[in-house]
């Protein structure tokens, strides 16, 4: 059987979408900030949802062993990670999962470590629980983003309760290697830090690299780590609301047993069954999407090099987010605002990702080459 092909919707079709990406801006703006893809959802997911809706099967979520099993099968086959299905807990979304785990692990005023620039909601989750954010930013050695291990150790030593790890990293599109994760696990073990690994972007890893789930690293990682992840990002079903929190070992298993039972049924029935189908029958679709994203990440690089060479863009190893260094354009404090005002193209202001995001912006390239071209055309207009 030949591989399936999935093409992005046209702009006209997308403008009819009701999600935040298509509602946040006036109709003359091309929106590329929110991390949703412009591709149609996998057919097995659509079929399941249509069937459930047709049969008015829209009640509360009850037991769903199918999801844990589909997740464990997927993890074993595609991520080299053996998960115990009994330690997979269903939650509403990754945000809720992280907040509920933080609630179990911390009290107001405790410190949570992040490495900026990082997914902006890490800060909102930390604020929600009145925790203190400690930032150990990524460095840049000219070819890749680097981890400041001595900074991490100093911060752990000074007192950190939780390290909120973005693995793989949004917005840098950077993977953590096995060796890097092992150092983090060992340090966390030494200083009594719990690592919450947000792995929502994991399945979106390009072929040249390997995504390493934190808990796949053995005993030490399993002693200190908890993973929160979802099918929602990779299979483009964020609005369906379902994620999983996973442990792998006695200590963290005991902790997660304290999650309030309500966290399970606050997830959506549609989301939980759609996620099950994603992990079990959505692989061909995901492979087709990865071919598109692979082509787009290079296409964007070529476009920018030709049209706006002042923008620095490192091709990501994972996912569909381009982290653009706009400093060379000298557009002031908020370059993304200039693109919005003058070019009617929306990209996400880098400052929301932490102080190291100043002068940067994030662009979502999970769309058609036509829309990407239009976006860059508008950016050119904005700076002309």
Ligand X SMILES: Cc1ncc(COP(=O)(O)O)c(C=O)c1O
**Would you tell me which residues interact with ligand X (CB under 6 A)?**
35, 93-95, 119, 166, 170, 198, 200, 230, 232-233, 238, 243
What is the rounded CA–CA span in Å between residue 180 and residue 159?
Answer: 21
Shortest Å distance, C-beta 291 to ligand X? 22
Shortest Å distance, C-beta 33 to ligand X? 10
Of 166 and 300, nearer to ligand X (C-beta) is: 166
Of 44 and 168, nearer to ligand X (C-beta) is: 168
Q: Residue 202, SS3? A: helix
Of 166 and 215, nearer to ligand X (C-beta) is: 166
Shortest Å distance, C-beta 124 to ligand X? 11
User: Per the structure block, which two tokens stand in for 382?
Assistant: 């904005």
Of 20 and 186, nearer to ligand X (C-beta) is: 20
Cα–Cα separations (whole angstroms), residue 56 to 102, 250, 275, 277: 36, 40, 19, 19
User: Per the structure block, which two tokens stand in for 81?
Assistant: 């990670």
Shortest Å distance, C-beta 308 to ligand X? 25
Burial of 374 (0-12, 13-18, 19+ CB in 10 A): middle
User: Per the structure block, which two tokens stand in for 92?
Assistant: 């509403």
Give the CA angle between residues 245, 44, 79 to the nearest 5°: 40
Cβ-contact 109, 131 below 8 angstroms = yes
Of 101 and 331, nearer to ligand X (C-beta) is: 101
Of 111 and 362, nearer to ligand X (C-beta) is: 362
Residue 214: closest CA among 268, 147, 169: 169
What is the rounded CA–CA span in Å between residue 53 and residue 268?
Answer: 13
Shortest Å distance, C-beta 199 to ligand X? 8
Shortest Å distance, C-beta 119 to ligand X? 4
Shortest Å distance, C-beta 295 to ligand X? 22
Query: Please, where are the H alpha helices in the chain?
Result: 11-14, 20-23, 43-54, 65-79, 94-105, 121-128, 149-159, 178-191, 219-224, 250-256, 262-265, 269-281, 283-307, 335-343, 369-383
Q: Which distant-in-sequence residues (6+ apart) come within 8 Å of 253 by Cβ?
A: 87, 247
Of 160 and 231, nearer to ligand X (C-beta) is: 231
Of 204 and 382, nearer to ligand X (C-beta) is: 204
Backbone φ and ψ for 246, nearest 5 degrees, come out as -130, 135
Shortest Å distance, C-beta 214 to ligand X? 14
């Amino acid at each position: 059987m030949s591989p399936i092909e999935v093409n992005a919707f046209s702009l006209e079709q997308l403008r009819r979408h009701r999600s935040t990406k298509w509602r946040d801006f006036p109709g003359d703006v091309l929106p590329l900030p929110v991390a949703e893809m412009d591709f149609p959802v996998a057919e097995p997911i659509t079929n399941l949802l249509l069937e459930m809706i047709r049969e008015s099967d829209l009640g509360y979520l009850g037991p769903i062993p199918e999801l844990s099993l589909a997740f464990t099968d997927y993890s074993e086959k595609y991520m080299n990670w053996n998960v115990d299905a009994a330690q997979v807990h269903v939650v509403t979304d990754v945000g809720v999962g992280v907040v509920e785990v933080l609630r179990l692990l911390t009290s107001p005023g405790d410190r949570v470590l992040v490495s900026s620039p990082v997914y902006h909601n890490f800060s909102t989750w930390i604020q929600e629980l009145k925790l203190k954010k400690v930032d150990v930013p990524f460095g840049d050695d000219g070819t890749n983003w680097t981890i400041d291990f001595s900074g991490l150790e100093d911060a752990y030593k000074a007192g950190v309760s939780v390290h909120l790890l973005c693995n793989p990293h949004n917005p840098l599109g950077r993977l953590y290697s096995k060796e890097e994760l092992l150092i983090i696990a060992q340090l966390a073990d030494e200083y009594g830090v719990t690592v919450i690994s947000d792995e929502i972007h994991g399945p979106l890893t390009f072929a040249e690299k390997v995504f390493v789930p934190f808990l796949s690293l053995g005993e030490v990682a399993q002693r200190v780590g908890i993973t929160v992840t979802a099918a929602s990002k990779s299979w483009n079903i964020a609005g369906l609301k379902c994620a999983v929190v996973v442990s792998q070992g006695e200590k963290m298993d005991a902790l997660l047993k304290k999650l309030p039972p309500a966290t399970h049924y606050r997830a959506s029935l549609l989301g939980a069954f759609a996620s099950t189908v994603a992990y079990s029958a959505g692989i061909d679709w995901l492979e087709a999407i990865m071919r598109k994203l692979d082509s787009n990440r290079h296409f964007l690089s070529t476009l920018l090099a030709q049209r706006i060479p002042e923008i620095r863009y490192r091709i990501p190893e994972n996912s569909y987010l381009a982290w653009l260094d706009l400093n060379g354009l000298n557009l002031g404090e908020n370059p993304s605002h200039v693109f919005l005002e003058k070019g009617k193209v929306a990209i996400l202001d880098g400052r929301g990702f932490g102080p190291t995001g100043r002068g940067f912006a994030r662009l979502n390239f999970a769309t058609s080459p036509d829309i990407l071209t239009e976006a860059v055309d508008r950016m050119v207009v904005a700076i002309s």
